[in-house]
């Protein structure tokens, strides 16, 4: 299985990229920062090839299906989404310090997928419930949403760290973008995540209606995705209508990401219809 | 950061608030929205921790008497349909309705104005307003400036001032409606859900292959419900991958109206049958306990111990046939769904035959397990039974039943419409904004120079708007240079 070999290597490339980003931030070396960007781009290419190869190999085994069907594949795709969203932000904001907060999340997702003994990287055929054209749309939109919230989580942490150092004593924190920029970025990432989470929940509902005859069953994963949606909806209303910003938005964003993580992993501990995500 | 529309509550009449006003203000408040969203989020967790709609006895066992009574009183076991959860949703509906109405009253005039109003001083006062001196008189700058502004904004208007003119321009005024579109979508979803719960149902039915049913059972109450048509399961099949995981469940169903077949269709998971607003979904299957074994024909194989010659006979239970090669008679005596051999080995489904040899020996019982065709061979080889033939049961047709989920939900079109409206509304709200700019050009007397002010703002994405004003400023400076 070349795909899992490539993806294991990609895990370490993400790790290396994270080390470079953190190094460039701490030691203020632009050359290291450039290396970090290049490393991340290589990781993204490798990640994409790994996923593509997995798709091809599933056809070679004889039951071709999209590589988006279990926890291993979703984690690999999650890492890719985070890295791509981050690279776009780096390109737009011309600031690499955000990378020190975003690429470690991609690395952790890949490391969890590759190293956890509970997660199988074998290509399994699709069970009947997953055989649907909605699968790809549902998974891609959900994970783009999760990736947006993951980056928002990273920028929220940046905000909270930097805010504690109001007198700019720490040279490390002074290299982070201005508070207002981080705050705005968090808001944008939450909007991005919210849009895709909404589409993800909707495609899931339409799919559920065509597979089980009911667009909403209050299954734990559905319910938790709705809880996540409520939390970020609260954030957006507080911000747009009451002008909340800064710490309060950062805290809600951190809580929201906890809900995302629970929707993703924690729900597997509860009984329900989404059991193939384990 | 403040919002242009934030003070809408303050725009209500200032007279002492009456009872109606107080209720109105309560439902128009964003605090209520935040409280409701967080309460809905918080309480929704309960239903994911306590399994919903299970058997009361299992709850009693899991939680003990006290918690059971408490949860029962609070409808925790069916919380998403409980009165208090529905009440929260009702509050949310009122909140959305009143909030939207309240804001539409104040912003409607802005959104639907035929001739937008601009206040020059509001643009001038902005701290991020940019100014520069252009080396040309105002009248020479009008054309190039107007062209640049026109390329960026849909609506524009030039107003004369004392020493020059002001170009007002804007776009995305209607995007202010985006939030109302999203709110409308939430109402559509809830209306669809309500429609479904009043006029729809969710049930299930198991149909054995070959059988026809017209009655199903409702999922939560287990009440029977008559369908306006009947369904026959012609065939059910299940296939497996090499790994043993199921690959496909397929049922062939025929719909009957007044005993007349209407059509036949195959359904698989993810591809249901829809007829007269009722949907039939493949949801489970099972093997029939052969209650009809009596009437079914069973294939019996006789294999000669000496020659290996094989004979096949079809027979029913309690039928007696002559053995091949004149070796006596064989009676297929009975069927046992689960048979344990010598108190040790469970053989599953077995047929018991009685073999009466030709030479007046005693009849012997022959055990014919469905799953283990070589069983009798082993018995004879080990000398546990005398005889010239190994006997086995050939392919016994397994009889399946198909488990169908049967639903009717007339609310689905509303819900789907709500989905589309919601995605559209969020797109508008997040990606578009109402952007207004003004380019004010004033002549500077004898010097034939002009003083140019560029300023703009948007109702959302302010940082993006600041950047846009900076861009516009740079382009105007360049154009002014060229003109001179």
Considering the domain architecture, whether residues A173 and A108 belong to the same structural domain is answered as no
Number of alpha helices (DSSP H) and beta strands (DSSP E) in chain A? 9, 0
Considering the domain architecture, whether residues A140 and A258 belong to the same structural domain is answered as yes
Q: How does the average pLDDT of chain B come out, rounded? A: 87
The answer to whether the CB atoms of B38 and A231 lie below 8 A apart is yes
Tell me what the mean pLDDT of segment B108-116 comes to.
84
What is the C-alpha separation between A232 and A240, in angstroms, rounded? 12
What is the C-alpha separation between B289 and A236, in angstroms, rounded? 57
Considering the domain architecture, whether residues A118 and A226 belong to the same structural domain is answered as no
Categorize the per-residue pLDDT at A54 as very low, low, confident or very high, splitting at 50, 70 and 90.
very high
pLDDT number for residue B459: 86
Q: Which residues contact A261 (CB under 8 A, 6 or more apart)?
A: none
**Residue B360 pLDDT more than 90?**
no
Closest approach of chain A CAs to the CA of B205, in angstroms?
Answer: 14
- Structure token digits, residue B339: 């048979």
- Using a CB-CB cut-off of 8 Å, the residues of chain B touching A241 are 3, 6, 30, 33
pLDDT tens by residue, A197-253: 999 999 999 999 988 888 998 888 999 999 999 999 999 999 888 888 889 999 999
- Using a CB-CB cut-off of 8 Å, the residues of chain A touching B282 are 128
The answer to whether the CB atoms of B463 and A184 lie below 8 A apart is yes
**Residue B483 pLDDT more than 90?**
no
User: For residue B103, what is the enclosing H or E element?
Assistant: helix B83-111
Considering the domain architecture, whether residues A19 and A157 belong to the same structural domain is answered as no
Question: Which residue reads 């932000």 in tokens?
Answer: A89
The answer to whether the CB atoms of B30 and A238 lie below 8 A apart is yes
The answer to whether the CB atoms of A230 and B268 lie below 8 A apart is no
- Using a CB-CB cut-off of 8 Å, the residues of chain A touching B247 are 63, 125, 128
The answer to whether the CB atoms of A237 and B407 lie below 8 A apart is no
**Residue A190 pLDDT more than 90?**
yes
Strand order in the sheet with B389-393: B310-315, B298-304, B389-393
Considering the domain architecture, whether residues A267 and A136 belong to the same structural domain is answered as yes
pLDDT number for residue B3: 40
pLDDT number for residue A278: 42
Closest approach of chain A CAs to the CA of B460, in angstroms?
Answer: 8
Residues facing B367 on adjacent strands: B352
- Angle CA(B257)–CA(B263)–CA(B265) in degrees, nearest 5? 130
Considering the domain architecture, whether residues A167 and A263 belong to the same structural domain is answered as yes
The answer to whether the CB atoms of A195 and B1 lie below 8 A apart is no
Contact A145, A200 (CB under 8 A): yes
- Structure token digits, residue B460: 């959302």
- Using a CB-CB cut-off of 8 Å, the residues of chain A touching B279 are 213
| ipTM score over 0.85, yes or no | yes
pLDDT tens by residue, B192-201: 999 998 999 9
Considering the domain architecture, whether residues A122 and A145 belong to the same structural domain is answered as no
Range ranked top by mean pLDDT from A191-195, B65-69, B215-219, B256-260: A191-195
Considering the domain architecture, whether residues A76 and A115 belong to the same structural domain is answered as yes
pTM score, two decimals?
0.82
The answer to whether the CB atoms of B48 and A128 lie below 8 A apart is no
What is the C-alpha separation between B455 and A78, in angstroms, rounded? 42
What is the C-alpha separation between B324 and B309, in angstroms, rounded? 10
Contact B464, B207 (CB under 8 A): no
Ramachandran region of residue B223, left (φ > 0), alpha (ψ -120 to 50) or beta?
A: beta
Considering the domain architecture, whether residues A74 and A25 belong to the same structural domain is answered as yes
User: B237-245: long-range contacts (C-beta < 8 A, 24 or more apart)?
Assistant: B237/B400, B238/B285, B238/B400, B241/A63, B241/A125, B243/A124, B243/A125, B245/A124, B245/A125, B245/A127
What is the C-alpha separation between B234 and B212, in angstroms, rounded? 9
* Residue where a domain terminates, one of A98, A126, A154: A126
What is the C-alpha separation between B432 and B426, in angstroms, rounded? 10
Tell me what the mean pLDDT of segment A7-13 comes to.
95
Assign B172 to helix, strand or coil: coil
pLDDT number for residue B14: 55
Strand order in the sheet with B450-458: B130-134, B450-458, B435-443, B164-171, B155-160
**Residue B277 pLDDT more than 60?**
yes
Domain containing A227 equals 132-278
* Residue where a domain terminates, one of A92, A126, A160: A126
* Residue where a domain terminates, one of A126, A141, A171: A126
Say how many domains are in chain A: 2
Domain map of chain B by residue range?
6-106, 120-172+433-483, 201-288+400-408, 298-393
Quick one: which of A49, A45, A54 has its CA closest to A1?
Answer: A54
Considering the domain architecture, whether residues A236 and A198 belong to the same structural domain is answered as yes
Q: What does CATH list as the number for B120-172+433-483?
A: 3.30.310
Contact B448, B139 (CB under 8 A): no
User: For residue B315, what is the enclosing H or E element?
Assistant: strand B310-315
Q: Which of A213, A247, A269 to mutate to test the interface with B (most CBs of B within 10 A)?
A: A213
What is the C-alpha separation between A84 and B98, in angstroms, rounded? 41
Q: How far is CA B145 from CA B135, B437, B454, B472, in A?
A: 14, 13, 11, 10
Residues facing B401 on adjacent strands: B208, B286
Tell me what the mean pLDDT of segment B143-148 comes to.
92
What is the C-alpha separation between B484 and B190, in angstroms, rounded? 62
Considering the domain architecture, whether residues A110 and A10 belong to the same structural domain is answered as yes
pLDDT number for residue B484: 73
CA gyration radius for chain B? Answer: 40
pLDDT tens by residue, B299-352: 888 988 888 888 888 888 888 888 888 888 899 888 887 888 877 777 878 889
The answer to whether the CB atoms of A128 and B430 lie below 8 A apart is no
The answer to whether the CB atoms of B246 and A127 lie below 8 A apart is yes
Which of B30, B40, B405 has the CB atom closest to A242's CB atom? B30
pLDDT tens by residue, A128-179: 888 888 999 999 999 999 999 999 999 999 999 999 887 778 888 888 898 9
- Structure token digits, residue A117: 């003994």
User: For residue B100, what is the enclosing H or E element?
Assistant: helix B83-111
What is the C-alpha separation between A67 and A76, in angstroms, rounded? 10
């Amino acid at each position: 299985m070349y795909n899992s070999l490539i993806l294991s290597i990609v895990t370490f490339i993400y790790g290396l990229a994270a080390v470079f980003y953190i190094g460039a931030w701490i030691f203020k070396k632009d050359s290291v920062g450039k290396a970090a960007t290049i490393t991340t781009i290589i990781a993204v290419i490798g990640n994409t090839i790994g996923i593509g190869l997995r798709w091809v190999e599933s056809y070679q085994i004889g039951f071709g299906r999209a590589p988006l069907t279990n926890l291993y594949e979703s984690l690999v795709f999650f890492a890719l989404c985070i890295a791509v969203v981050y690279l776009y932000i780096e390109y737009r904001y011309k600031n690499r310090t955000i990378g020190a907060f975003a690429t470690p999340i991609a690395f952790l997702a890949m490391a969890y997928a590759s190293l956890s003994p509970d997660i199988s990287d074998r290509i399994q055929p699709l069970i009947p419930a997953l055989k649907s054209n909605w699968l790809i749309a549902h998974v891609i939109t959900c994970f783009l949403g999760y990736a947006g919230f993951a980056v928002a989580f990273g920028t929220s942490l940046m905000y909270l760290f930097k805010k504690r150092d109001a007198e700019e004593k720490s040279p490390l924190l002074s290299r982070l973008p201005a508070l207002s920029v981080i705050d705005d970025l968090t808001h944008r990432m939450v909007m991005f995540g919210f849009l895709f989470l909404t589409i993800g929940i909707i495609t899931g509902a339409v799919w559920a209606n065509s597979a089980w005859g009911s667009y909403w069953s209050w299954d734990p994963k559905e319910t938790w995705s709705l809880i996540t949606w409520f939390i970020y909806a609260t954030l957006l209303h507080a911000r747009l209508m009451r002008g909340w910003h800064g710490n309060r938005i950062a805290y809600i964003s951190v809580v929201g990401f906890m809900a995302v993580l629970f929707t993703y992993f924690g729900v597997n501990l509860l009984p329900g219809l989404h059991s193939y995500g384990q | 950061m403040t919002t242009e529309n934030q003070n809408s509550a303050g725009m209500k009449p200032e007279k002492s608030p009456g009872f109606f006003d107080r209720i109105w203000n309560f439902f128009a408040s964003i605090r209520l929205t935040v409280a409701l969203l967080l309460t809905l989020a918080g309480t929704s967790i309960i239903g994911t921790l306590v399994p919903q709609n299970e058997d009361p006895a299992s709850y009693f066992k899991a939680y003990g008497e006290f918690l059971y009574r408490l949860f029962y009183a609070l409808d925790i076991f069916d919380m998403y349909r409980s009165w208090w959860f529905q009440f929260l949703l009702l509050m949310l509906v009122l909140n959305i309705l009143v909030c939207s109405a309240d804001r539409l009253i104040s912003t409607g005039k802005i959104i639907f104005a035929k001739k937008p109003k601009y206040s020059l001083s509001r643009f001038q006062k902005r701290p991020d307003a940019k100014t520069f001196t252009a080396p040309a008189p105002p009248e020479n700058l009008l054309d190039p400036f107007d062209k640049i502004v026109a390329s960026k904004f849909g609506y524009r208007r030039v107003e004369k001032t004392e020493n020059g003119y002001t170009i007002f321009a804007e776009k995305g005024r209607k995007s202010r409606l985006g939030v109302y579109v999203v709110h409308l979508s939430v109402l559509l979803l809830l209306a669809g859900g309500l429609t479904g719960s009043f006029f729809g149902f969710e049930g299930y039915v198991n149909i054995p292959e070959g059988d026809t049913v017209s009655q199903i059972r409702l999922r939560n109450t287990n009440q029977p419900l008559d369908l306006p048509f009947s369904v026959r399961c012609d065939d059910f099949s299940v296939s497996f991958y090499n790994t043993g995981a199921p690959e496909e469940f397929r049922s062939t169903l025929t719909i009957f109206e007044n005993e007349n077949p209407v059509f036949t269709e195959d359904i698989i998971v993810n591809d249901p049958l829809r007829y007269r607003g009722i949907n039939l979904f493949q949801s489970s299957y099972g093997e029939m306990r052969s209650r009809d074994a009596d009437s079914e024909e069973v294939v019996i194989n006789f294999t000669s111990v000496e020659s290996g010659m094989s004979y096949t006979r079809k027979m029913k239970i309690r039928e007696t046939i002559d053995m091949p090669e004149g070796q006596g008679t064989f009676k297929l005596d009975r069927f046992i769904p689960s048979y344990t051999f010598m108190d040790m080995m469970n053989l599953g489904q077995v047929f018991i035959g009685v073999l009466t040899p030709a030479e007046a020996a005693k009849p012997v019982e022959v055990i014919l397990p469905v799953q283990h065709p070589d069983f009798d061979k082993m018995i004879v080889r080990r000398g546990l039974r005398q005889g010239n033939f190994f006997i086995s049961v050939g392919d016994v047709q397994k009889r399946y039943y198909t488990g169908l989920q049967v639903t009717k939900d007339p609310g689905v079109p509303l819900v789907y419409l709500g989905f589309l409206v919601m995605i559209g509304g969020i797109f508008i709200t997040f990606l578009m904004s109402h952007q207004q700019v003004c380019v004010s050009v004033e002549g500077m007397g004898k010097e034939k120079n002009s003083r140019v002010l560029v300023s703009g703002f948007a109702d959302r994405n302010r940082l993006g708007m600041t950047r846009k004003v900076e861009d516009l400023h740079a382009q105007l400076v360049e154009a002014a240079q060229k003109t001179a």
